[in-house]
Each structure stands twice: as structure tokens, then as C-alpha cells.
Amino acid sequence: MAEGLSRLLKSAIASQKLKGISIHGLNPLSHQQFVDDTMLFGHPSSKEASVFKSLLSLYSDASGTSINASKSQLFFFNTPPPSTQRNIAIILGFTISHLPSKYLGAPLSDSAIKHTSWRSLLDRLESKLSSWTFRALNMAGRLVLIKSVLQAMPLYLFSTLAAPKWVLKAIRDLQRNFLWGSTGRNRKWALVNWKEVCKLKTEGGLGLRDPLQSNNTMGARMWWNWLSKPHSPWARLWQAKYARGSQWHDLIRINSIAQGSPIWNAAKIHSRFIQEHSFWEIHSGTLAKLWEDSWQQLPKLENLFQMPLWQSYMQQENLIQVHQFWQQTQHQEYQIWRPANSWQRDWASETYLDLDQELTQRRIRYSNQQDKLRWDHKHKGTFTTKEAHQLRYSDTQGDQDQLWARVWLPGLWPKISTFLWLLSKRRILTWDNLIKRGFIGPSRCPNCNLHTETISHLMETCPLAKELWEKVEKCNKRTAPRGEDVTDNIRSWDKNPFKSQLLNTLWGLIPGFLYWLLWKERNSRIFNNTSRTTDALWLIYKRNIQETLAIRTWYDTDMPEAQQERDIFKEWNLDLSAFAKVITRPPRSSTSPSSWSPPACNSFKLNFDGAAKGNPGPAGFGGIIRSHTGAPLHIYYGSLGKDTNNVAEMEGLWQGICLAE
């Protein structure tokens, strides 16, 4: 139905019944639609209003729907006297309104966005918080709500506007206070620095996104959408207003960018970031520049060969685009590069050889298609906010610490994982940490009442902890890491010491559940004045482990087979009847030659593959065509020089299809 209205309005523009509005020389604009919301644009005259009225009446009669005048508003810009405005309002039957206003949840303004527009967002966030404070939420639950609600709600406005500093700070404070359980006058300590909290889980954080980071990432996405979707109405408007005279393929390279609307300003500050992480996928070679652009997901040539005079020389000779460096030959499978000494004569011979070798490794298939602008150096080449966030804020230089893989082990209860995270940061509030924060009180370990309480004592050397660890080692017939540094013990915990997958899973759960049990017992003795014996704690511990394992589906191949592993299974009193159904593992599907099946009679089958070492890096492909008897009809293989896994696999497929044909 909405499409019918859209076509009706376009027809009126085409027949010149409506003038609409023309911005920066673009075609007249009569309307914009979002589901059942329609925004009309017209020339400020009674005649134009009458045409709109008749079209809306025709649409209402045809569709059986009516326009809700009480929900419709009129806005005037650079319009003649108030009498004209009143006449238009009378004809359409709508009320006259003024900016600033709001449409589809986003503020509309002809100046800077007002304080009230952002205040409404903060009010909605605070209303969510007020309904949560009455719930008994642990830290893991609060973390989920922050990610799914408090971080998600601002994204709509962040996707079009750069938020002021005071708004970002207010949102950050709401998220941080809720994470640590602070509500109203009930203030609690923030145990870990907010910057640490906002790191990825694999880098020692909780995976939260700071509001400033989210705002920047959404602004970068808006700039990328402008570059990659040039035919969108808003993208054409931006180009006409801010980059008039520039070709679309040159927009990625613009550096001198003027100030403009708040939406434009929110996006343009990320132009440099987008430039640094985009590349051209070469087809015809007519859009990408050989020297200064990144193409085929490979580094820029200007970064590989330091030639200060290169750019001026190339401009003088009018040698810029990639296709200008190909030999003009008849149609061939791959483009052939011109020798470097044929278009540059002032270099040393070593430079010619190095450049020729680099270009030879960059093999470009012959194509008449237009070059495509793509994103980053991952294999997909498409923009995602997750990837953009990681590129800008993630520390990807060093190897990831295996500690965090143990902390966020799948199968651990979320509240135990968050506790392990705090424990690994040495931030749980044992008495030694409380004293550092100025708290005055006893310092003895509540679990033994003999020694000063520290993290290492409570979790490792306390008599209660020692007894439980000895039971663990006895049950598993293995020695657990038992140093004084809890973090090192978690980090060095064996990943798969058993052949049985069930026992490996059990082994991975042990440190988290035991540290958690010791912490709960410690708190129970302080706050509830109750204590349990070692045997009682051990029963609770085993039950938690058993229940965690029992909710999963296990295959017969996951069960212990060796006698020693079966003995461990019995030590834990694991009752298979309490487990989710133990079933026979289905045969795994495989494309390897060992599971190859012949095609139908009088037909043949193609198998192919391709890979790049480093992705991108030295790439190759291969394949085989076999008959229904399994006899090889054709074997092929080849090298691609420097390329990606995707290109290598597609090349293997393409070569095989050509042979099959």
C-alpha cells in the first residue's frame, strides 16, 4: 500500500503536477518513506497543497485507509508570508509545527542539537535502571543487561549524530555504576578501571564498549556507507553538497573536508580511519591508483617502495590507474604487467627487479567489470561495526593470553566466570585488598582463623583450601597447578589432559568451581556466621560439577574408555542416567578424498581447493576431475602469487569449471 502512494507521488512529479523540492541541483524530491511513515516535500503554494490533498484523498479511497491529521504536522522553510502558511495548513488540515522536533525517534533541527534531545535518551536509560534495581542481579546478569540494553539504546542516535562529551560521560556513569551495583546513595567501589573493563574478553576485559567508542564506530559506518553506496538518495545529496565536481571513486581519497550539518560532521571525522582500512578489488583497473591505493587486500606500493619523487613524476606522465601499467594485448586469462623500466627510467636496477617481482606476484584476472571498494584486510572484505571497533580499539599486537580462555571457558556458570575475571585481576575484596582501600577491620582468614587473609592464602594455602585441592587431585589422579599465584595457576591449567572429552570438560571446570566455593564459604562465615565442614563442601562441589555436566548432550565417543579414566569417572560418582541423553555420534560429513563418493554413471565429478599462506600471502589452487569409476580424467594446479584464501578457492573452482566445460 505504501508503495502505491510512492508511485502516485512520483507520477505527479513526472507529469509536473507537483514541483517538490530540488536540493543542490538534484532531481525534484517529493517524499521519503519509512514503513507507514511518510514525509512529503513540496513547493510552498496553495496549488501544490491542493495537489497533495487530492493525491492523499485518492490514496485513501483506493486503500481504505485514512490520513490521521492529528498525528501529522507541517514545517515551513524559507516560506512566504504567514497567510500562505495558513492557507496550506487549511487545505491539508494539518497543524503547523516548528523545529526543533523529532521524527522516527531522531531529533530534527536547523541548528545544533538541543540539550533536551539528549536528555530524553538519558531519561529512558535511567527509567530502565530504576526498574532493575529491585532485582537480585549478580554481576554476570548486570553485564548482560548493559550489553543488550544500556549499550544498544544509544546506537540509534549515535548512528547519525556525534554525542556531546557530557552525554557520553552521563551514559558511561550509568553503565559503570550499574555494573558495580551502585544505586542512588548506595555507592559501591568500581573494582576494575573502566578502560580495562572495555577491553575484549580475549584481552582481559569484559567486552563492554565505551559510549565514545560506540559513537565513533557508528560515525565511521556512516562514512563508509556514503563511500560504498553512492546511489542512495542521501549519498547523492552529500556528494552534491560537499563534494561537487568529484567523481565517486575519488571520495575515498579526499582529505580537505569542509564543515557541514551535524550529521555530516559526525561522519567526516572518521574519514582517515576509513581510508587506512579500505582497499580496491581490481577488475578493470580503471578506478584504483597503482601507487597510492591499497588493492587486492595487499599493502600500498608507496609503503613498500620509498620513492619521494614518484607521485609528481606519475602525475607529469599521467600514469595513475592500475590498468595503465598493463600491456595492451589481446584477451588473456591474466593481465600482463609492463616492465618497470618501460615507464620509469630513473631508478636503480635493483628497484626495477624488486618492483617487477612484486607486481608479478599480484596476479589480476582479466575482467571488464568496474573496480570495487572493499573493507579492511580480513577475508570477507565487508564493513562490520564489530570489526571496525576491534581495529580501532583492540590490542592485536601481541599473542592473546591463554588465561582469558580459561576464565571464559564455555560451560562455566556466567557468575563464576565473572568472579574468575575479578580473581585474575586480583580485585576480589579479601581483607588485604580492603585494608589497601582504607577499610579498618580484622585481617585473619575466616576459613581458618590462623593466618592473614590474602588471595593466594584463601585460594591455595589455607588448610581448608588444601584439603579440597587434595580431594581434587585424588579424584582425578593428577597433580593440579598449586603455586601461590592464583593467576598463574589458572593460566597453566592443562586444557585436554585426558582422552575422554567428558573428563576434559570436567577438568576445565575444576578451578573455577573450587575458587568460587571457597569464596562463598568465606563470605558465609563473615556475613551469616555459619560454616560447613570440608566433607559438606566437597559434596556441594561435586554436585555443582555433576549438574553442570548433566545438562549437556554427550556422545558415546566422549565417554572414558581407558581403565584409569573409567576409575576417575567412578571417583566423581557420575551417574549416566542423570545425564542428558548419551547418543551415538553421527558420522561426520567430510570433503576429504577418504570419503569421496563416485558420481552417477556416465558423468564426472570435480573436487578443488585453494589456500593462501598468511591470507593474504603466497597462494595456490588445485583440483581433480574423476569419472564414475574413480579414474582421474584431469588433474590441474597453479600458483597465484600473493592473494587471499577466497581468491585461491574461487580460482580453483573457475579453472575446474572451464575444464569441465
288-318 pLDDT, tens digit per residue, is 998 889 998 888 888 887 765 566 666 666 7
Q: How far apart are CA 439 and CA 457, in angstroms?
A: 20
Phi, psi of 614 (to 5 degrees): 110, -30
Structure confidence at residue 182 (pLDDT): 82
Question: Average pLDDT in the 180-203 region?
Answer: 88
Q: How far apart are CA 612 and CA 640, in angstroms?
A: 9
Examine the pLDDT at 395 and tell me if it is beyond 80. Answer: no
Residue 408 CB partners (closer than 8 Å, separation 6+): 201, 417, 421
Parallel, antiparallel, or unpaired: how do β-strands 106-108 and 582-583 relate?
Answer: unpaired
Examine the pLDDT at 36 and tell me if it is beyond 60. Answer: yes
Which three-class secondary structure state does DSSP give residue 511? helix
441-463 pLDDT, tens digit per residue, is 888 999 999 999 999 999 999 99
Q: What is the mean pLDDT of the chain?
A: 87
* Residue ranges in 180-270 assigned as alpha helix (H): 194-197, 211-228, 233-242, 262-268
Q: How confident is the model at residue 130 (pLDDT cuts 50, 70, 90)?
A: confident
Structure confidence at residue 579 (pLDDT): 57
Structure confidence at residue 484 (pLDDT): 85
Examine the pLDDT at 390 and tell me if it is beyond 80. Answer: yes
Report whether 281 contacts 295 (CB < 8 A): yes
320-379 pLDDT, tens digit per residue, is 889 988 987 766 788 888 887 776 666 666 777 888 888 888 888 888 899 999 987 666
Question: Average pLDDT in the 646-651 region?
Answer: 90
CATH of domain 593-660: 3.30.420.10
Longest dimension (CA), the chain: 96
Look at 175-179, 262-266, 606-610 and tell me which has the smallest mean pLDDT: 262-266
Question: Average pLDDT in the 496-504 region?
Answer: 90
Report whether 296 contacts 616 (CB < 8 A): yes
Domain chopping of the chain, boundaries? 2-98, 115-209, 222-277, 280-375, 402-583, 593-660
Question: Average pLDDT in the 250-276 region?
Answer: 89
Long-range contacts of 141-150 (CB under 8 A, 24+ apart): 141/414, 141/415, 142/178, 142/179, 142/181, 143/179, 143/206, 143/208, 143/414, 143/418, 144/414, 145/178, 146/175, 146/178, 146/179, 146/208, 147/207, 147/208, 150/125, 150/174, 150/175, 150/178
Q: How far apart are CA 334 and CA 349, in angstroms?
A: 26
536-576 pLDDT, tens digit per residue, is 999 999 999 988 988 888 888 888 888 888 888 888 887 65
Look at 96-100, 146-150, 403-407 and tell me which has the smallest mean pLDDT: 96-100
Question: Average pLDDT in the 578-593 region?
Answer: 59
Q: Per residue, what are the HEC states of 9-38?
A: HHHHHHCCCCCCECCCCCCCECEEEECCEE
